Amino acid sequence: MSGPLRGRPVALVTGAAGLLGRALDERLRADGFDVLGLDVRGDVDIVADLARDLPPDPRFAEVDVVVANAAILDSVAAAHAVEFAEFQRVVEVNLNGAFRVIQACLPGMRARGHGRIIAIASAAAVLGLNLQISYAASKAGLLGLVKTLAIEGGPYGITANAVLPGLFGPEAGPLPAGLGNLVAAGRTASAAEIAHVVAFLAGEHAAYITGQQLGVDGGLGLSPTSLHAPEPAPGSSA
């Protein structure tokens, strides 16, 4: 990845080496952004562990759009059994790390009177996630974060929104076994579909959208319960 070329809008994507991070990089570059990628390792512009204090970098002052995408999901345990150190590590990366990066970019945005903050939360932020309380709690924290940033940033032309993905992969595909009726769309999303939504929020057409949480989950969590006989599936005989 190359560094920013001043004169073009600059987007910073955290978690840039991952699946969604790469899709975000590709989509934002296609929209004319110069993209700075940040991750704990990999072929990125800024190598940093967001669980620790963020090293100073003058490039943060040039960022017009920050996409807080970095996240870990490595603590699987019931709430009564989870080790606090594990819980804390997930929150440090997913929530505190997002704040560290956003805070580093805010002075430049305020000075220029323009900015876009987009936090990649999760459907788990509103639905919960069995055996992953640290992940769900950290992602829920992002929702309060963006609402407060939206209030404070409004007078400075800064919007803040959260995108809540559901199940996704490199390409749209069938649902994992046992999840057949949990997603209204009947499939998983592709990383590119999520990146398209982020790109919209990063652009000028979304200037009046702020403090919102936008689910990109195919209707995950909508109840399939009905008091009537279900309609036949498309393509099936009645």
Q: Give the catalytic positions in this structure.
A: 135
Tokens of 4: 């920013």
Task: Using alpha carbons, select from 191, 190, 214 the residue that is nearest to residue 202.
Answer: 214
Which residues is 168 bridged to in the sheet? 189
Which residues is 190 bridged to in the sheet? 169
Burial bucket for residue 208 (CB in 10 Å: 0-12, 13-18, 19+): exposed
| DSSP 8-state secondary structure symbol assigned to residue 231 | P
Residue with tokens 């934002």: 28
Angle at 136 between CA 98 and CA 49, to 5 degrees: 30
